[in-house]
Structure 1
Amino acid sequence: MSHAQKVANRNIVFIGAFIVVWVVSAANVFTVFDVPLQEATGGSGAQIALALTIYQTVMALFGILSGRIVDKSGPKMLMFVGGAIFGLGYLLTGFVTSVPLVYITYGLMAGAGNGLMYNPAINTSLRWFPEKRATMNGVLLAAASIGGIILSQIATQLNHHFGQKGFVYLGIGFWVLAWLAGAIMSPAPANWRPAGYNPDAGPTGRVEKDFTPGQMIKTPTFWLMIVILAFCCTAGIMMIGKLTSIAGSQLYGAPVGDVSALSAIATTTSIYVIVNTAANLVGRLSTGVFADKFGEIKVLAAILILTIVSLLGLSVSTSPLLFGIFLCLLGASFGGVLVVFPPLTSRQFGLKNNGVNYGIMFFGYAIASLVGPQIASLLAVPGATGLEAYRTVYFTAAAVAAVGLVLVGFLFRIDKKHQERLHALQRQQAADQAEPTQNQAEPAQS
């Protein structure tokens, strides 16, 4: 296969991965069907919401399994199997009549299908684009932001016309799209590089050692990174889960916990969801470019600094404009976190086993998914309005981000020392290779 053919092939593979990430962003539409699911099952809002927690946990678990498979066998089979399970999970959710069935069809089945597809789609693309991993990962994750916007509108219309049965149409569509994407996805050849690519050049370059999962989890770097991932994501996930409630209480006078008051202004506060999603999209597209240019760890530090600034800004925002500005900063910074971590994981621990390695690393995100919403729920002041309502929530999330920033400093020092050792080894190897050449030239001069 010629180089030109490989380049063309990797672009087609990328399109397939983009479709997959767009499809699995459908987790965002689950809350659209909250009321019909409560009516169909007789469950409470909290009971239905637990299905989303199960979904995210199962997704993380199956991400490890799929990572091991994609490292050995490629993505195609995973797209077919995962697409079928994911689509079927959504389809069957359209017929559930009890809360446990929601946990099975949506939480277990759709979550497993997501885990089988998401991680392999990301890692397959990274292997085809080693020269700009973060940039391409940013474009891929932008598909999730775009999907969240488009699919939420589709789901709203389906809910309006069909209620719970809207899940059936979504499931069929997701199943078909996942299979179409799988048909055009293929793994990159081992150690494939585009012409002219020098992996040791630039701020993100290094000689890669391929760590097995067992070797990776024994390193201090892994534990540092997984904690940093959790701390980076906590504030963003907190805001996503409670954004309309936070805006309603802080800006529009609806008391914390007053469901009827918050529902009455839901149309007004929903605009902030769109603002946050748009900022998230911009953050994902831009972060990858910066990470490829300046290095992932430096960009992580910038993300956490922006997170702290935005949270402190939100804590004093009394106008929709000021609230929107700092929300944009937070949304953009949160959007960049998952752009940085897949290429950072492959750079630290190698590409060979990155599918399963990043699947394990992704548990940092799962931890944040559990902690973030709890911070907002437990620390909000019941019945309060204005700045008092969520001030403690902002300060706590900012403190978490500050600890994360300190940990990034340690990670930077570890990485810097490691690269210095690698460069010293490279210089020594170059000198050893040059010495025999000099010795062979000496007799000719005598």
Structure 2
Amino acid sequence: MLIGRPFHGWRVAWAGFWVLFIVYGLQFSYGTFEGAISADTGWSTNWLQLAYALYILSYSAVSVWSGQLTDRIGPRQVIAVGALLLAAGYLVLSSAPSLMLVFIGLAVIAPLGMSSSWVPANATVVRWFTARRGLATGIVGSGGSAGGIVAPPIAAWLVSQFGWRTAIAAMAVVGGVFMAATAMLFVRDPESIGQYPDGRTPDPADRPLARSRVVSRPAGFVVEATRSSAPDAENPRTAWTASAAWRTSVFWRIFGMFALTFVVVFVPFAHGVQYARSLGFSLQWASGVISSVGVGGLVGRIVTGPLSDRIDRRRAVALALAVETLSFVGIAVADNLVLLYASAIAFGLSYGGSVAVFPALVADYFGRTHAGAIVGRFFATAGSCAAIGPYVAQLLLNATGGYGWTFTMAAVANACALGLAFTLPRPGLLPKR
């Protein structure tokens, strides 16, 4: 390690926190803007909800390329450009005179910027940590929950004072500038500045070399031709490429786990208030459901990440999925605010915990070298399912007249994900690359 230089990994983790604070603060404020947009313009909320669903689908799908770009050119450039695109998309939305421009701004331009946040930030932070990887990804992920708690009330105040167009424009400009500035703190990996994962000092026998070079071998297998700059429990002389990981059964088991849980993950956000209203509660009390999810999510990310460093990470994921299953059961049968709020907090805890541990779990199995491309593939495929759930929930509501089937099926989906979690082998049992 370079003498006198503090370990930069924690700066990377907190930079990731602020990037996710900004992007998810904007995302979760959309519900605040939507009513004002519809009331002012007369545009149908169905069209506005469709634009939002396409936004989620698009940024999830594009994340496969943002992950690859993070591996190739580094996170700093990817996140900085993403900040400009995200701000541009919301500025188009704020000035849109027609629904066509709403779709262009929200469903085309903004997703390009949003895709340059979650995957690049998490793929970078897992390169900086091994022993404390769960804590680091927990810090990054908690930024999204914090943004979801803080930003919507600010958005509501701005809308009430200045109107929705000025509110969106102001949040887009401030968020974009701050995100671009934060991007400057990102460094691809510790070795590039003469440091080592977790800030540890290597054994003197492990002398760092100026640069590692990579040579290709058949079936997507790569070997670092020069000696690794630091000892690493992940066997740093070998690495999984995205295409090689894609061909393993473990990849598809993890994919199945997160596809099943992601497909219902936005249902409480999109329908929680309406569900509480259908139970007879006022709008003020019903809005507390989303706040409860946000508080639970923040705690879940902070607690589950470091917990997964101490226990088997598979157990941490399984615990989160078990709690998420029970939380949906609680929501489905709730007939009072106490049970509804408690179930919403439990959902936030479990959802926040599983999402925080996800990139660390992937890196445990497939290593640090191609983390961007591999996490990007997961997010692009499994994460795209998140756009489906709220729309299907609306169809079920129309067909059945209630939310019972929606939350029951969400519980079943998470129970299936929990079953897959129990089939995961220990990372050390994967074939050596």
CA contact (8 A) 1:41 1:99 kept: no
1:10 Cα offset (Å): 2.6
Aligned to 2:360: 343
Question: Are the structure 2 counterparts of residues 235 and 251 from structure 1 closer, same or farther at C-alpha, using a change threshold of 3 Å?
Answer: farther
Q: CA RMSD in A?
A: 2.5
Superimposed CA distance per residue, residues 9-61 of structure 1 (whole angstroms, 9 cap, x where no aligned partner) = 33333332222111111111112111343356542101011221222222123
Deviates more, 1:50-59 or 1:208-217: 208-217
Aligned to 2:79: 79
Aligned to 1:10: 9
Aligned to 2:103: 103
In structure 1, what is the Cα distance between the partners aligned to 2:95 and 2:119?
A: 29
CA contact (8 A) 1:251 1:320 kept: no
Deviates more, 1:229-238 or 1:64-73: 229-238
Aligned ranges for residues 229-248 of structure 1 at < 5 Å?
Answer: 229-248=258-277
Question: Are the structure 2 counterparts of residues 381 and 58 from structure 1 closer, same or farther at C-alpha, using a change threshold of 3 Å?
Answer: closer
TM-score by length of 1: 0.82
Aligned to 2:62: 62
1:308 Cα offset (Å): 2.1
* Structure 1 unaligned regions, length at least 5: 199-203, 253-264, 426-446
- 2:321 aligned with 1:289: no
In structure 2, what is the Cα distance between the partners aligned to 1:221 and 1:347?
A: 12
1:354 Cα offset (Å): 0.7
- 2:38 aligned with 1:21: no
CA contact (8 A) 2:86 2:113 kept: yes
- In structure 2, give the amino acid aligned to 1:69: L
Aligned to 2:168: 167
CA contact (8 A) 1:93 1:105 kept: yes
Aligned to 1:195: 200
In structure 1, what is the Cα distance between the partners aligned to 2:107 and 2:29?
A: 14
In structure 2, what is the Cα distance between the partners aligned to 1:102 and 1:179?
A: 24
1:206 Cα offset (Å): 4.7
1:382 Cα offset (Å): 6.4
Aligned to 1:217: 246
- 2:310 aligned with 1:299: no
CA contact (8 A) 1:71 1:356 kept: yes
In structure 2, what is the Cα distance between the partners aligned to 1:82 and 1:381?
A: 37
Deviates more, 1:35-44 or 1:175-184: 35-44
1:132 Cα offset (Å): 1.1
- In structure 2, give the amino acid aligned to 1:237: F
Superimposed CA distance per residue, residues 300-338 of structure 1 (whole angstroms, 9 cap, x where no aligned partner) = 211121122222233332221122222221221111121
Question: Are the structure 2 counterparts of residues 224 and 322 from structure 1 closer, same or farther at C-alpha, using a change threshold of 3 Å?
Answer: same
Aligned to 2:212: none
1:363 Cα offset (Å): 2.9
Aligned to 1:32: 32
Aligned to 1:227: 256
1:220 Cα offset (Å): 1.5
Aligned to 1:418: 429
In structure 1, what is the Cα distance between the partners aligned to 2:200 and 2:428?
A: 30
Percent of pairs with identical residues: 23
Question: Are the structure 2 counterparts of residues 415 and 331 from structure 1 closer, same or farther at C-alpha, using a change threshold of 3 Å?
Answer: same
Superimposed CA distance per residue, residues 239-293 of structure 1 (whole angstroms, 9 cap, x where no aligned partner) = 11110111122353xxxxxxxxxxxx32221112111110111111111012111
In structure 2, what is the Cα distance between the partners aligned to 1:329 and 1:14?
A: 25
- In structure 2, give the amino acid aligned to 1:17: G
- Higher-Rg structure is 1
Deviates more, 1:368-377 or 1:91-100: 368-377
- Higher-helix-fraction structure: 1
In structure 2, what is the Cα distance between the partners aligned to 1:19 and 1:172?
A: 15
1:183 Cα offset (Å): 2.3
1:361 Cα offset (Å): 0.4
Question: Are the structure 2 counterparts of residues 197 and 345 from structure 1 closer, same or farther at C-alpha, using a change threshold of 3 Å?
Answer: farther
* Structure 2 unaligned regions, length at least 5: 204-231
- In structure 2, give the amino acid aligned to 1:250: L
Deviates more, 1:327-336 or 1:352-361: 327-336
CA contact (8 A) 2:328 2:343 kept: yes
The count of aligned residue pairs is 398
In structure 1, what is the Cα distance between the partners aligned to 2:137 and 2:333?
A: 34
CA contact (8 A) 1:307 1:329 kept: yes
CA contact (8 A) 1:42 1:98 kept: no
- In structure 1, give the amino acid aligned to 2:19: V
In structure 1, what is the Cα distance between the partners aligned to 2:202 and 2:345?
A: 35
CA contact (8 A) 2:289 2:340 kept: no
CA contact (8 A) 1:89 1:105 kept: yes
Aligned ranges for residues 146-165 of structure 1 at < 5 Å?
Answer: 146-163=146-163, 164-165=165-166
In structure 1, what is the Cα distance between the partners aligned to 2:315 and 2:22?
A: 31
Aligned to 1:201: none
CA contact (8 A) 1:91 1:170 kept: no
- In structure 1, give the amino acid aligned to 2:422: G
